[in-house]
């Protein structure tokens, strides 16, 4: 079992665009296992491969209370999106920062699961937020980039000040 290093904003590698997975092989399955260990240990409810400096279109999410409902999305694509909802988000790559972001309320996503089988999922609430947040990571986008320039500058200053010391995640605040 390996714990992977999570890149911290504003690391430039967080802005790389991930490549499609051509084949779900042993390497991808090991990546998923290591990402899951890393996400649960952090702890967070979602993690994109981009955040562990692997630029492949793989995201994992577990929004369950019991932390045993792992969702794997390989090459995810939104096929429908409707409504609008604003919700507070955090991110394992931006420790200690929580800000409201407006996103689609309901989405339909198509992807491959951890065995390489295609599936379609309709999601709303926290799961929908999380899927959109992680899919942004695959495009090289970090959630703070939705905020005003002033807010982004304040966040950058704060991250610089806190240095390597990451604040402990707070209960009830989703870290994606
Ligand atoms: Ni994130």
Task: Quote the pLDDT of residue 170.
Answer: 72
Q: How far is residue 44's CA from residue 98's CA, in Å, rounded to a whole number?
A: 13
Please give the distance, rounded to the nearest whole angstrom, from the Cα atom of residue 79 to the centre of ligand 1.
22
Counting DSSP H helices and E strands in the chain, the numbers are 3, 7
- Domains of the chain, with CATH numbers? 12-162 (3.90.45.10)
Residue-level pLDDT at 164: 72
For residue 105, cis peptide bond before it (omega within 30 degrees of 0): no
**pLDDT tens, position by position, for the chain (176 residues)?**
789 999 999 999 999 999 999 999 999 999 999 999 999 999 999 999 999 999 999 999 999 999 999 999 999 999 999 999 999 999 999 999 999 999 999 999 999 999 999 999 999 999 999 999 999 999 999 999 999 999 999 999 999 888 777 777 677 788 88
**Residue 83 alpha carbon to ligand 1 centre in Å:** 22
| Active site residue ranges | 134
CA angle 79, 74, 20 (to 5 degrees): 90
> Do residues 161 and 77 lie in contact, with contact meaning Cβ atoms separated by under 8 Å?
no
Nearest-CA neighbor of 62 among 43, 81, 77? 43
pLDDT of 118: 98
Name the E strands within 83-161. 85-91, 94-103, 106-112, 118-124
Distance, CA 1 to ligand 1 centroid (Å)?
Answer: 22
Please, are residues 133 and 123 in contact by the beta-carbon 8 Å criterion?
no
Four-point Cα dihedral 115, 133, 67, 75, nearest 10: 0
CA angle 45, 46, 50 (to 5 degrees): 155
Give me ligand 1 centre to Cα 119, in Å: 23
Query: pTM for the full model?
Result: 0.95
Tell me, in angstroms, the distance from the centre of ligand 1 to residue 6's CA. 10
């Amino acid at each position: 079992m390996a714990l992977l290093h999570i890149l911290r904003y504003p690391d430039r590698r967080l802005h790389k665009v991930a490549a499609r997975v051509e084949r779900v092989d042993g390497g991808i399955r090991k990546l998923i296992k290591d990402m899951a260990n890393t996400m649960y240990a952090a702890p967070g409810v979602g993690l994109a491969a981009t955040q562990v400096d692997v630029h492949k279109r793989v995201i994992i999410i577990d929004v369950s209370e019991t932390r045993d409902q792992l969702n794997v999305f390989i090459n995810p694509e939104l096929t429908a999106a409707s409504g609008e909802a604003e919700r507070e988000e955090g991110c394992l790559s931006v420790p200690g920062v929580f800000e409201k972001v407006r996103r689609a309320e309901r989405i339909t996503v198509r992807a491959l699961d951890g065995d390489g089988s295609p599936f379609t999922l309709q999601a709303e609430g926290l799961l929908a937020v999380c899927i959109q947040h992680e899919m942004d990571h695959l495009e090289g986008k970090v959630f703070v980039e939705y905020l005003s320039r002033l807010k982004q500058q304040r966040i950058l200053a704060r991250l610089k000040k806190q240095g390597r010391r990451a604040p402990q995640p707070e209960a009830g605040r989703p870290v994606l």
